[in-house]
Structure 1
Amino acid sequence: MSNEKSPVPEWEQRFRAARVSLPDWAEQAPERALYVSNSTGTYEIYAWDRSADSHRQVTSRPNGTTDAELSPDGEWIWWFDDTDGDELGVWRRQPFTGGPDEHAVPGVPAAYDAGLALGLDGTVVVGTSDDEDGTTLYLRRPGATEVEVVYRHEEYGGVGDLSHDSSLLVIDHTEHGDAMHSAIRVLRLADGATVAELDEVTGRQHPSGVACLGFAPADGDTRLLIAHQRTGRWEPALWDVATGTETALLLRDDQGREFPGDLSAQWRPDARSLLVEHEYEARSELFSYELATGELTRLDTPRGTVSGATARPDGTVEFLWSSAAEPSAVRSTAGTVVLRAPGPVPPGSVPVEDVWVEGPGGRVHALVQRPSGDGPFPTLFEVHGGPTHHDSDSFAAGPAAWLDHGFAVVRVNYRGSTGYGQAWTDALHGRVGLIELEDIGAVRDWAVDSGLADPSQLVLSGGSWGGYLTLLGLGTQPDSWTLGLAAVPVADYLASYEDEMEALKSLDRTLFGGSPEEVPELWHASSPLSYVEQVKVPVYLSAGVNDPRCPIRQIDNYVTRLEQLGKEHEVYRYDAGHGSLVVEERIKQLRLEIDFALRHLGRAR
């Protein structure tokens, strides 16, 4: 008998291969940087001294750490400390060169994170969110030991930015009650007075959002870079908060045409130019924009998705790039790979095809990947979360694993997704979940009619909002799917609302147009629990027992009802929050899903 171990499957190699996030650098010490990596098997924070090219692991916790920020002087690493993924915690800090952690802002209670701003002069603003007070922003002035409350409101808000001299603070807020469209308020920290307000929701028949993109990086400069939706899509503008003057940025492509997709921007360190990102039809591209001349220059990036970019003081731009076929790396416009995780590069995967399907609300964009061989194939519909998010042409180990097992993978950017204009994103009001499923159903019909998908082997799958749509789809479209895989889902919407974090309660009230007490019929019509009797196919559910976004009690309610009805199902609960940061746990979860699907579809491994 051979003692040789079987080789590790490529799909597991993709998960285990180390990866890194885009490094964040200190404004006054640009050679000091932070990034997140899973090189130990758990996603944790790392410090990188670029001048010495030395790397140091900063955090080490059983369930991982991903939220961190570097102080402007590069001396301190701030990181958010919660308990086992419950997202309820405090900020701690550690010297960049190493040393013990300390509570960064004593006096700020444990809560959900609502933003952090660190000033060059030592000013600190910490945002918190909880069920009792809503949003609270705490200020600690330079040299002070005590904190003071500078803002509090029952509706959700958060820290926008501090001006370069720390005299002004931007707050992104939703005091008007529309959690999908934020407003901006600028406070003078010397006395707490409101300097400026930008609200495009209150009193508007067609509300649109504005968002803070950051103050100009220069003392005394009161220009704030904002994003707005006045044209029906996101695009940047300049707003001088001292004078109230707004300056439109006339961004045009190489042919002098308006860009069709969403535009975002950030300041370059010189405060005279911007780094612009254009996101359209599941891909992105970068540009540099000179404010004085209006000149827009395309930066050389491969076709795919830029998941983050930063302009360095030397004029280069570093960006995290990948495509569905090629794993991610931190690249530079200088033509180099700036940072790649240690160890082997994960195996590549299959490129995506773009498919457009006529749906009841307009053309629906889907990303399709085909395994080798001839169809029709067993097909996984992988539904993205959010809902204000979108699937993109970027590398993902999950879909690649299903392709390795002979499945076609279809991802649908349904109404509610970002990147296709404000009207597409805002379309969910009232008929939450049901609208998205109409679009998914239209793409499902195309997949069958085109010969891609075997109608007897259709898997509806997703996590978070995608898990919610999976359970809702199994109940409202019971003859369309062969089985369902729902990870960290909303399963009982009314119980979920009772237990979830306050920020999500605000979003839900916006989506439904009121609370469960105010519009109960809409909440019942959009809850998977309302349709559990109609589920005809096997269901697999997984859930984190510490999840504050899709809490465990409401999932247990759904599972109990499945048991009472004798519906075929399996449940996996794990000790984490809204997903896991531990690589082996992620592999375990996907292995369980794949095994469940293969067993119930009658396919051998």
Structure 2
Amino acid sequence: MTQDWSRFFEARQCVSARRGRGRTDDLVLMVHDEPDGSTLTVWNAAEGAGRRVLGEYGDPRNAVLTADGRAVLNLLDDNGSEVGHVWSLPVDGSPATDLTPGLTPFTLRGIDVAREGTYAVLTAVTADGFALWLIGTGDERRPPRRLFSSQAEAWNGLISADGRWACLDTTDHNPGIRRFAVTVVPAGGDTPDGPEQGAPEGGTAPRTLSDGPAEPVRGIRFSPVAGDDRILVATERTGFIRPCLWHFPDGSRTDLDASHLHGDLVPLDWSDDARYVLLVHVDRGVHHVMEWNVRTGALDPLVHPSGAFFEADIADAHPNYWASHYGADGQPRLLHQRFDLPLSMLRADRAAHTVTPVWTPALVHPGTPLTSHTVTSLDGTTVQLWAGRPRGTREPLPTLLSVHGGPQLVTVDRYTPEAQAWLENGFAYAAVNYRGSQTFGRRYREGFWHTIGERELEDLAASVEWLVAEGIADKDKVFVSGASYGGYLSLLSVGRLPGLFAGAMAFVPMADWAGAYDDMNPALRAAWRSFFRITPDEDPGVFRRASPISYVEHVRAPVWIKTGTHDTRTPPRQVHRYAEALENAGGDVTLEWFSGGHETTSRNAELADQRRIMELAARALRGERWADGAVTPPPPGSVGTGPGGG
């Protein structure tokens, strides 16, 4: 096995950059990849200088800056459990402050900061439901004030530039179905406690933008101009995402239909003067950056290199893992990556039609790009697939098929050191955007609903068939790997499609839906009730049919699993039950534990995992077993195991 592949991990220096909301400086909160874990830096774009954030700050990708740039707001939890409180963490390392001390520990599903003043909103999920809270971020400590609550799923709370209004994505019009509307509530002023269900404190009726039960609407951001009562939202009246400006006081709206474009046209940001909206048109997985001139209505393409410019997220604090945005000068600041190029920041000049680097990584090692392809699934559905092979090779190769999580996430053309490591070691590499993936339209995104696992397996099988037919993959040497829902599909595929894969490597996977349900955090239980349209108590057979544990007798390929002790999305007990059942059925299974939640904790850990799975693939190709010992149960204190573990 080639050892030099680790250089690709060292080259990944920045994984996200989120601009602060404040007016005073053009500050960007950058997440840097370090050997022992991610770190935060406040980068001043005007000065080109950064300041390291000191202390503990939770998952750095969820953090936001206060309006004055002096502190970071984020959820602090128990060892990655995603259940805790939001704290204010001064950039200079001064003592942190719990901003939600009286609240039941919650899962964070949205956080946003007003451009003026000292207010923020957060969306919290507990066993009691979903709630939008107003919190103070200044030196004076105000108790959190509840603005909205509901038993129906609600996410993505936002606050207006002046702090007078807040909104969130709600499903009260469509309970149990993840098709949102945008609901606005007043946020400013003193009002009594004790709101009615679904109403803000003070009794003012919410104002809601809904396009009906079948066509979701989601909030992107309030106008950056104080007193401008418009919200940039994403609609799907055509079946694809389109931007819309909604003036909520009178209900008027301005939609950009862009009927000449096929595919999603995703709004990312709104310029500080509210004149331009930054968009990305996604054409079969390929990104094209555009701008909407709000005053003239013109839609213009921007000059840019090939690659990805945002990555959609789901079930987290922000709609995107990372995204291009506007700088304080009003010009687009493009966050650019490619499978073989680490993240850099570029300034796009709309008048000069030029792109200029403003931040670049210190290390860039030559790698191998991947290209976008379309394959046809069993029922004729077109599926997008990224694929690449080592330079200079022509023969069919051992291949790694990567399966993203979510399921409503997406694999974009972003820097992926894991892909480069496989390619460096003589493997072909592919990544499939199966049905359930974002940015391919509503019908595709919802394609897995109520038939969990079925359509996705068809898409995986079609991808393997295409890779073999194209002479890229050796049909007997294809491995499958994924995290979370991708790990679930990896396990399900070796049970439901025995013989398709030579081995499965699953990170933090779901393996037993019914067994996991009670150990999940409340936000995840609500999501899966929506997708299954039922609970395990109401119809356990539906959950059994979707669970990899139901097919362990059919597994012929070796299986490796690594999962976290404090994971409340794919909890540890159900993973152990699957591994034990597969072992008892005579399967070749290895289960490894790490202390933490749903995410790998450091670059060193990722390097160790990559080394491990490539060694396992080499062993499989030599006909060797993977298991070196018996399956072990979750360590004491893990989620669901009793005292200290829930």
| DSSP 3-state at the match of 1:327 | strand
**Contact 1:42/1:63 (<8 A) preserved:** no
Structure 1 position 310, deviation (Å) = 1.1
The answer on 1:289 being equivalent to 2:292 is yes
Q: Which residue of 2 aligns with 1:277?
A: 280
Q: Which residue of 1 aligns with 2:123?
A: 127
Structure 1 position 309, deviation (Å) = 0.9
Structure 1 position 412, deviation (Å) = 1.5
**Contact 1:236/1:265 (<8 A) preserved:** no
Counterpart residue type for residue 591 of structure 2: V
Tell me the distance in 1 between the aligned counterparts of 2:131 and 2:421.
43
Q: Which residue of 1 aligns with 2:388?
A: 369
- Compared with structure 1, are the counterparts of its residues 351 and 159 closer, same or farther at alpha carbon in structure 2 (3 Å cutoff)? closer
Tell me the distance in 1 between the aligned counterparts of 2:345 and 2:612.
32
Q: Which residue of 1 aligns with 2:146?
A: 149
Structure 1 position 433, deviation (Å) = 0.6
Pairwise mapping of residues 58-69 of structure 1 onto structure 2 (< 5 A)? 58-61=53-56, 65-69=60-64
**Contact 2:152/2:176 (<8 A) preserved:** no
**Contact 1:16/1:41 (<8 A) preserved:** no
Q: Which residue of 2 aligns with 1:383?
A: 403
- Compared with structure 1, are the counterparts of its residues 192 and 285 closer, same or farther at alpha carbon in structure 2 (3 Å cutoff)? farther
Normalising by structure 2, we get a TM-score of 0.86
| DSSP 3-state at the match of 1:486 | strand
Pairwise mapping of residues 311-460 of structure 1 onto structure 2 (< 5 A)? 311-334=326-349, 335-341=355-361, 343-372=362-391, 373-460=393-480
Describe the superposition over 1:256-276 as per-residue Cα deviations: whole angstroms up to 9, x where unpaired.
x23433332421100122122
Which shows bigger deviation, 133-142 or 515-524?
Answer: 133-142
Q: Which residue of 2 aligns with 1:32?
A: 27
Structure 1 position 357, deviation (Å) = 2.9
Describe the superposition over 1:19-61 as per-residue Cα deviations: whole angstroms up to 9, x where unpaired.
1222413431223331110245411221223455442221455
Q: Which residue of 1 aligns with 2:196?
A: none
| DSSP 3-state at the match of 1:333 | strand
Q: Which residue of 2 aligns with 1:228?
A: 235
| DSSP 3-state at the match of 2:611 | helix
Describe the superposition over 1:359-405 as per-residue Cα deviations: whole angstroms up to 9, x where unpaired.
31412221111124232111111111111122222221112111111
Tell me the distance in 2 between the aligned counterparts of 1:563 and 1:10.
35
Tell me the distance in 2 between the aligned counterparts of 1:411 and 1:33.
31
Structure 1 position 518, deviation (Å) = 2.2
Structure 1 position 98, deviation (Å) = 4.8
| DSSP 3-state at the match of 1:66 | helix
Q: Which residue of 1 aligns with 2:39?
A: 44
- Compared with structure 1, are the counterparts of its residues 39 and 481 closer, same or farther at alpha carbon in structure 2 (3 Å cutoff)? closer
Tell me the distance in 2 between the aligned counterparts of 1:600 and 1:572.
18
| DSSP 3-state at the match of 1:374 | coil
**Contact 2:264/2:441 (<8 A) preserved:** yes
**Contact 2:396/2:474 (<8 A) preserved:** yes
Structure 1 position 89, deviation (Å) = 2.0
Which shows bigger deviation, 74-83 or 403-412?
Answer: 74-83
Tell me the distance in 2 between the aligned counterparts of 1:81 and 1:502.
17
Structure 1 position 159, deviation (Å) = 4.2
**Contact 2:368/2:390 (<8 A) preserved:** no
**Contact 2:57/2:76 (<8 A) preserved:** no
Tell me the distance in 1 between the aligned counterparts of 2:278 and 2:59.
31
- Compared with structure 1, are the counterparts of its residues 355 and 227 closer, same or farther at alpha carbon in structure 2 (3 Å cutoff)? closer
Q: Which residue of 1 aligns with 2:210?
A: 199
Tell me the distance in 2 between the aligned counterparts of 1:40 and 1:383.
25
Tell me the distance in 2 between the aligned counterparts of 1:62 and 1:42.
12
Structure 1 position 242, deviation (Å) = 0.4
Point out where structure 2 has 5 or more consecutive residues left out of the alignment. Answer: 190-201, 311-322, 350-354, 625-646
Structure 1 position 215, deviation (Å) = 1.4
Pairwise mapping of residues 539-558 of structure 1 onto structure 2 (< 5 A)? 539-558=559-578
Tell me the distance in 1 between the aligned counterparts of 2:586 and 2:56.
40
Q: Which residue of 2 aligns with 1:173?
A: 170
Identity %: 28
Pairwise mapping of residues 554-565 of structure 1 onto structure 2 (< 5 A)? 554-565=574-585
- 1:304 paired residue among 298, 302, 307: 307
Tell me the distance in 2 between the aligned counterparts of 1:187 and 1:63.
29
- Compared with structure 1, are the counterparts of its residues 156 and 546 closer, same or farther at alpha carbon in structure 2 (3 Å cutoff)? same
Q: Which residue of 2 aligns with 1:465?
A: 485
Structure 1 position 220, deviation (Å) = 2.3
Stretches (4+) displaced over 6 A: none
**Contact 1:430/1:522 (<8 A) preserved:** no
| DSSP 3-state at the match of 1:562 | helix
- Compared with structure 1, are the counterparts of its residues 393 and 138 closer, same or farther at alpha carbon in structure 2 (3 Å cutoff)? closer
**Contact 2:372/2:384 (<8 A) preserved:** no
Structure 1 position 179, deviation (Å) = 4.6
- 1:475 paired residue among 482, 488, 495: 495
- Compared with structure 1, are the counterparts of its residues 276 and 416 closer, same or farther at alpha carbon in structure 2 (3 Å cutoff)? same
**Contact 1:42/1:64 (<8 A) preserved:** no
Counterpart residue type for residue 208 of structure 1: E
Pairwise mapping of residues 45-124 of structure 1 onto structure 2 (< 5 A)? 45-61=40-56, 65-119=60-114, 120-124=116-120
Counterpart residue type for residue 209 of structure 1: P
Cα RMSD (Å): 2.3
- Compared with structure 1, are the counterparts of its residues 550 and 41 closer, same or farther at alpha carbon in structure 2 (3 Å cutoff)? same
Counterpart residue type for residue 384 of structure 2: H
Tell me the distance in 2 between the aligned counterparts of 1:328 and 1:126.
28
Pairwise mapping of residues 227-246 of structure 1 onto structure 2 (< 5 A)? 227-246=234-253
Counterpart residue type for residue 373 of structure 2: D
Structure 1 position 18, deviation (Å) = 4.6
**Contact 1:538/1:568 (<8 A) preserved:** yes
Structure 1 position 603, deviation (Å) = 8.4
- Compared with structure 1, are the counterparts of its residues 248 and 353 closer, same or farther at alpha carbon in structure 2 (3 Å cutoff)? closer
Describe the superposition over 1:38-88 as per-residue Cα deviations: whole angstroms up to 9, x where unpaired.
245411221223455442221455986332111123232223222322112
Tell me the distance in 1 between the aligned counterparts of 2:286 and 2:566.
34
Q: Which residue of 1 aligns with 2:603?
A: 583
Q: Which residue of 1 aligns with 2:537?
A: 517
Describe the superposition over 1:279-319 as per-residue Cα deviations: whole angstroms up to 9, x where unpaired.
22222122222112112222111111112111122122112
Counterpart residue type for residue 401 of structure 1: A
Normalising by structure 1, we get a TM-score of 0.92
- Compared with structure 1, are the counterparts of its residues 519 and 603 closer, same or farther at alpha carbon in structure 2 (3 Å cutoff)? closer
Structure 1 position 91, deviation (Å) = 1.9
Structure 1 position 438, deviation (Å) = 0.7
**Contact 2:268/2:325 (<8 A) preserved:** no
The number of residue pairs the alignment matches comes to 588
Structure 1 position 209, deviation (Å) = 1.1
**Contact 1:187/1:195 (<8 A) preserved:** yes
Which shows bigger deviation, 267-276 or 226-235?
Answer: 267-276
Q: Which residue of 2 aligns with 1:597?
A: 617
Counterpart residue type for residue 155 of structure 2: G
Structure 1 position 126, deviation (Å) = 2.6
Q: Which residue of 1 aligns with 2:8?
A: 14
- 1:248 paired residue among 239, 245, 255: 255
Q: Which residue of 2 aligns with 1:162?
A: 159
- Compared with structure 1, are the counterparts of its residues 434 and 544 closer, same or farther at alpha carbon in structure 2 (3 Å cutoff)? same
| DSSP 3-state at the match of 2:25 | strand
Tell me the distance in 1 between the aligned counterparts of 2:264 and 2:378.
20
Tell me the distance in 2 between the aligned counterparts of 1:32 and 1:353.
35
Pairwise mapping of residues 257-272 of structure 1 onto structure 2 (< 5 A)? 257-272=260-275
Q: Which residue of 2 aligns with 1:3?
A: none
**Contact 1:64/1:581 (<8 A) preserved:** no
- Compared with structure 1, are the counterparts of its residues 55 and 99 closer, same or farther at alpha carbon in structure 2 (3 Å cutoff)? farther
Q: Which residue of 1 aligns with 2:320?
A: none
